[in-house]
């Protein structure tokens, strides 16, 4: 039966090795040590100090108070200290065993309200631009472990622009295929504003944008942003004859301002409007001309025989004609054809007699002797038969 010889770590370190030591024994020993170390590590992590939350405002307005929060879980251990750092420099420390427990270390841009600060909360009064930076909270446990955990966040102090963005370089009117070159400039701020362009409410293609480097102004180092827009005008850019160019300036979620300009289509504003009006006028004139022509034709057709008479007959004679023939015209409206026919012949004869009398006076009227003779013969025939 094979015998297994066990070697200790001391034997391996002292160099007392037998030739029967194999690589398998060394691997088994190494595995045991790795397993034991892993068990102790897991046990230590499951029962250790931990950081649960670091609450720091990402953006805050200048001259406002900032509240920094740090929450942790001691897991049965005692608290040794809570320390706060800005960009790696300590500015506040809280040690429960000290009297008083809170202690402040001077640092530019950091003004700690010691009365309202605890192990979980630190209050900074009236933050300035120098207050911008990375803040880290570090929590340590008591002896003998002295475990330490930490967490950090960045805080940016914001100085908003005094007015909205300005649009320059544009024209009031553009035609199709014209080149639009405009710039949008924001007022000084900290941090610099993020600018964007929109055409008719839609963000423009990036190929239309012309970015510029920020401009630093003033002793505080405020920055002005500028973004150009350049594109060729197309028909699709105009809606109801207008194209709206809008510039938006934004700083995270604390500031948002915009400026919009309306650009007109020169062709749409001038030519189509005039053409439509001229078309309407032309149609109305054509309609009036057609009515006049029809009226002239009707007048010439109906009064061809009497146009000369109305030209040369005096006004009194015209009135006498109307008074003489009006009763006859009224009788013509009777429905009976037998009664209407004699009346019509009578009317013609009367007109012929009047015509003859007017010709004797020198007026130009048509004569109808034949009609009157026929009427006398017809009337004589009619009455003789009736008798």
**What was the pLDDT predicted at 310?**
41
**What was the pLDDT predicted at 266?**
74
Query: Residue 179 maps to which CATH number?
Result: 2.60.40.10
Domain endpoint, select from 131, 158, 185: 158
Q: Can you say whether the dihedral through the CA atoms of 116, 118, 121, 124 is positive or negative? A: positive
Domain endpoint, select from 104, 123, 158: 158
Evaluate whether residue 33 is within a structural domain. Answer: no
Evaluate whether residue 347 is within a structural domain. Answer: yes
CA 34 centroid distance within chain: 64
Q: What is the DSSP letter of 373?
A: H
**What was the pLDDT predicted at 42?**
43
Whether this prediction's pTM lies above 0.85 is answered by: no
**Mutual orientation of helices 369-386 and 337-360 as an angle, nearest 10°?**
140
My answer on whether 207 and 151 are in the same domain is no
Q: What is the DSSP letter of 189?
A: B
Domain endpoint, select from 97, 129, 158: 158
- H/E stretch holding 317 reads helix 315-331
Alpha carbons 347 and 299: distance in angstroms, whole number: 22
My answer on whether 343 and 253 are in the same domain is no
Q: How many CB atoms lie within 10 A of CB 249?
A: 27
My answer on whether 194 and 154 are in the same domain is no
Q: Are 234 and 203 in contact (CB under 8 A)?
A: no
Evaluate whether residue 338 is within a structural domain. Answer: yes
**What was the pLDDT predicted at 353?**
72
Evaluate whether residue 29 is within a structural domain. Answer: no
Please classify residue 165 by burial: count the beta carbons closer than 10 Å to its beta carbon, then call 0-12 exposed, 13-18 middle and 19+ buried.
buried
Alpha carbons 202 and 198: distance in angstroms, whole number: 5
My answer on whether 154 and 56 are in the same domain is yes
My answer on whether 84 and 58 are in the same domain is yes
Q: How many domains does the chain have?
A: 3
* Residues 6+ away with beta carbon under 8 Å from 186: 161, 165, 166, 192, 193, 195, 224, 225, 226, 249
Alpha carbons 237 and 267: distance in angstroms, whole number: 14
My answer on whether 55 and 145 are in the same domain is yes
**What was the pLDDT predicted at 234?**
92
**What was the pLDDT predicted at 19?**
43
Evaluate whether residue 119 is within a structural domain. Answer: yes
**What was the pLDDT predicted at 329?**
54
Provide the domain limits for residue 113. 50-158
* Residues 6+ away with beta carbon under 8 Å from 211: 227, 228
**What was the pLDDT predicted at 75?**
84
Alpha carbons 143 and 374: distance in angstroms, whole number: 152
My answer on whether 136 and 177 are in the same domain is no
**Mutual orientation of helices 337-360 and 315-331 as an angle, nearest 10°?**
170
pLDDT tens over the chain, length 387 residues: 444 444 454 454 455 445 444 555 656 666 665 655 554 444 444 457 899 999 999 999 999 999 999 999 988 888 999 999 999 999 999 999 999 999 999 999 999 999 999 999 999 999 999 999 999 999 999 887 789 999 999 999 999 999 999 999 999 899 999 999 999 999 999 999 999 999 999 999 999 999 999 999 989 999 999 999 999 999 999 988 899 999 999 999 899 999 999 988 876 544 333 333 333 344 444 455 555 666 555 555 544 444 444 444 454 455 455 555 555 555 555 555 555 667 677 777 777 776 666 666 555 444 444 445 555 555 555 555 544
C-alpha dihedral over 27, 28, 33, 35, to 10 degrees? 110
Q: What is the DSSP letter of 81?
A: E
Evaluate whether residue 139 is within a structural domain. Answer: yes
């Amino acid at each position: 039966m094979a015998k297994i010889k066990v070697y200790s770590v001391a034997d391996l370190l002292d160099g007392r090795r037998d030739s029967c030591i194999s690589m398998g024994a060394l691997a088994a020993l190494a595995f045991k040590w790795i397993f034991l170390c892993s068990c102790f590590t897991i046990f230590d992590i499951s029962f250790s100090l931990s950081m649960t939350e670091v609450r720091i405002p990402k953006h805050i307005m200048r001259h406002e108070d900032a509240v920094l929060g740090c929450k942790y879980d001691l897991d049965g251990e005692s608290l040794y200290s809570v320390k706060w750092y800005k960009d790696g420099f300590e500015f506040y420390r809280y040690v429960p065993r000290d009297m008083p427990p809170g202690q402040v270390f001077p640092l530019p841009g950091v003004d700690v309200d010691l009365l309202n600060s605890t192990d979980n909360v630190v209050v900074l009064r009236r933050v300035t631009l120098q207050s911008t930076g990375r803040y880290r909270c570090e929590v340590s446990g008591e002896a003998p472990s002295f475990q330490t955990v930490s967490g950090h966040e960045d805080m940016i102090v914001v100085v908003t622009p005094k007015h909205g963005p300005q649009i320059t370089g544009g024209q009031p009117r553009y035609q199709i295929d014209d080149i639009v070159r405009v710039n949008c400039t924001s007022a000084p701020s900290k941090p610099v504003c993020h600018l964007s362009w929109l055409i008719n409410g839609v963000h423009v293609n990036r190929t239309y944008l012309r970015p510029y480097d920020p401009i630093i102004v003033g002793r505080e180092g405020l920055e002005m942003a500028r973004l150009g827009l350049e594109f060729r005008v197309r028909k699709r850019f105009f809606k109801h004859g207008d194209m709206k160019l809008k510039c938006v300036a934004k700083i995270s979620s604390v500031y948002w301002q915009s400026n919009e300009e309306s650009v007109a289509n020169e062709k749409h504003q001038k030519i189509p409007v005039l053409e439509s009006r001229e078309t309407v006028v032309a149609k109305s004139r054509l309609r009036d001309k057609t009515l006049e022509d029809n009226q002239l034709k009707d007048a010439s057709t109906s009064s061809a025989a009497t146009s000369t008479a109305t030209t040369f007959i005096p006004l009194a004679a015209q009135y006498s004609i109307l008074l003489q023939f009006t009763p006859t015209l009224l009788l013509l409206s009777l429905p009976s054809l037998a009664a209407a026919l004699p009346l019509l012949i009578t009317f013609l004869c009367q007109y012929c007699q009047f015509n003859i009398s007017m010709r004797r006076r020198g007026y130009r009227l048509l004569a109808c002797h034949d009609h009157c003779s026929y009427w006398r013969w017809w009337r004589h025939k009619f009455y003789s038969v009736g008798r």
